[in-house]
Structure 1
């Protein structure tokens, strides 16, 4: 339940269950009375449990909030830093609403509790919210994107340079950058010119969105090295809706080769991509042959 890829579909499912709750209870009662169906007995027991119903109502509120966050992540021109702030704001909201001495239940939950004389034990669902917030904190840790603040551009000569140096060190191997220190000096020089040019273009209205910044940077030859980091910054995580569509599609086109992919293969593919982008010569047929004959590949 903590897998954010399923936030949208989980909210849809829980919300549909709540909207049809009374109908489901009536159906289960009918099945028990007419057919003595064991599954219907179990479902009826759960559906008529006040704690279960309250928990579903709270989950509907939470999944609704996370679905809104997913839709926010799908906005065009959303930068990594902006998305991170939206996520941290949602975590803070959950903590201040549920993980305090006096919980602030929604009106729907209050009505449900009142109908059960406020005797429902909510310890379990509050523990779930606590686990959820802890999980989200791990997904969006503090200071994770500190280096990327370099691309919140300002008119200041030294601003952002230290963070750019950290980014070069972090992605040096993946991007096949030289290790003699010359690339760091070159990228810092590009960055110093870059930030002043971008700020002036924004003042003049030539650049209005982050997408405009990315497009301009990728086209300018004078920022060839720096452009790789702007490109990474622009590649915010895929939205939940796209992930769900992707998983569904992958299930339809499964093949034995894809099923044997290991975790480190994605890292290898990224390295190949950037090596090709740097005009490196790669024989993809040989790579594929090597992979298909690799004895450490996942077994069938």
Structure 2
């Protein structure tokens, strides 16, 4: 973690170099190891004249590949496609105003919850639409509205009928929008489209997703979106060509087909435009690392499969490969050996690269080194965004004096700690027990309690031993002692029992007291 003096390309590049040097990475190691640079589409990072990528290629290696974050591109594609759609503007107004209506009034929120309980529905409060992630925020807000549609319509209708309520005009307007057939149909259609796009976004944001994964995922998403041009999705089927939705009558007419065609065409066009560069040149060649893109059967019709991709990758990364001890001249030869071996002896769809390395690691080490290089290229900069989010949560206004090194260590723990279900604390416990300058006394209290119990047991056993000794020493006289007790009982019998003696003493005491007080009787 390094602070940036100025938020321009030289400032970012300088901070980046400081961060790498801080990790004891030399310039020679950078030239040998750095093969890709993932970032968002900001010009300060991607500028061809003075951007960060240009400085990296000039000072480190000209073979460094620029990968613009695919998740950011997806968000921008949705924003471009939906721009100018009148129904989306009305739908966005509905979602925004509905959130404000309940978020700013605890009374209305509580009444809405009571409406949910009265209808026997699970509470689904409205979500905020705005934010940096347009796709997920809009999708979440839409799903909440459809989950609680009946409760929203009923509660807003009740508020709209109360003329003395200050919220009456706003509730009436929102109730009218929720009852609009055109808006409800379009909203459910958009929910279907956003569900597909959101799924792609989540896949691209995973840490293990590489650029080689993205080709198939993007093409599958575009194919599904195209189908929605003529076919209804799960959400749209619940309302399409129906007069009621969730038990409430919809009002108005629907001119939906033209809007659907316009939205689908715009979405597909924007997706293809934003991701056009990954289907040509070097980025297109990375699909070689994805086994699912390989032909099912290797025959004469596809005998040249992968040759062009291998040649493109070898030519671009020739210097980097040579620095790692790879011979670029034999890479293409080993590719043919690798391809033939995998098709002849294995089912390609079931293979993974770790398994291939175990099988052919010695025989095809040069081509496998090239594959490892391709696997390291990122698909998005989502991990950086998560780091920024954690940094804001860690360095708050109450902890604004954290040193850079301390902040880096805290973020390292938070970003790289395993899930609780996957974490095995055995090694950490062992290190804690043995790693300190002094021996850990983690069983101190337990040992102390054991000592106390042992000492009490010893004391009890010693008391028993003393009694036994006394009995042993006087064992001969025990019978006589019992006899003495029996004799003493017989001797005292002449004077009466103990209770009789006590009664006599009480009588004498009472008589003396009466005499002192002057009572004769």
Matched residue, 1:147: 285
- How far the C-alpha of 1:53 sits from its partner, in A, is 1.0
Deviations 1:243-271 (A, max 9, x none): 9866743542469999xxxxxxxxxxxxx
Please tell me whether Structure 1 or Structure 2 has the larger radius of gyration of its CA atoms. 2
Please tell me whether residue 85 in structure 1 is matched to residue 205 in structure 2: no
Please tell me whether residue 167 in structure 1 is matched to residue 297 in structure 2: no
Q: Out of 330, 337, 350, which is 1:189 matched to?
A: 330
Matched residue, 2:148: 20
- How far the C-alpha of 1:20 sits from its partner, in A, is 0.9
Matched residue, 2:263: 128
Residue pair 1:79, 1:210 contacting (<8 A) in 2 also: no
- How far the C-alpha of 1:64 sits from its partner, in A, is 2.6
Deviations 1:158-183 (A, max 9, x none): 653432232245556xx8567xxx99
Structure 2: stretches of 5+ with no match in the other structure: 1-71, 79-132, 405-521
Matched residue, 1:110: 240
- Cα separation, 2, equivalents of 1:197 and 1:71: 33
- Cα separation, 2, equivalents of 1:64 and 1:132: 13
Structure 1: stretches of 5+ with no match in the other structure: 259-300
Residue pair 2:209, 2:379 contacting (<8 A) in 1 also: no
Q: Out of 230, 237, 246, which is 2:372 matched to?
A: 230
Please tell me whether residue 44 in structure 1 is matched to residue 175 in structure 2: yes
Residues 1:163 and 1:204: Cα distance change in structure 2 (over 3 Å):
closer
- How far the C-alpha of 1:196 sits from its partner, in A, is 1.6
- Cα separation, 2, equivalents of 1:118 and 1:48: 8
Secondary structure of 2:254's aligned partner:
coil
- Cα separation, 2, equivalents of 1:46 and 1:244: 36
Higher relative CO (Cα under 8 Å, sequence separation at least 6) belongs to: 1
Residues 1:249 and 1:113: Cα distance change in structure 2 (over 3 Å):
farther
- Cα separation, 2, equivalents of 1:109 and 1:85: 32
Residue pair 2:215, 2:287 contacting (<8 A) in 1 also: no
Residue pair 2:200, 2:217 contacting (<8 A) in 1 also: yes
Residue pair 2:156, 2:175 contacting (<8 A) in 1 also: yes
Secondary structure of 1:110's aligned partner:
coil
- Cα separation, 2, equivalents of 1:113 and 1:237: 45
- Cα separation, 1, equivalents of 2:259 and 2:190: 12
Secondary structure of 1:119's aligned partner:
coil
- How far the C-alpha of 1:57 sits from its partner, in A, is 0.8
Secondary structure of 1:120's aligned partner:
coil
Matched residue, 1:293: none
Q: Out of 165, 168, 177, which is 1:35 matched to?
A: 165
The TM-score, its normalising length taken from structure 2, stands at 0.37
How many aligned residue pairs are there?
A: 247
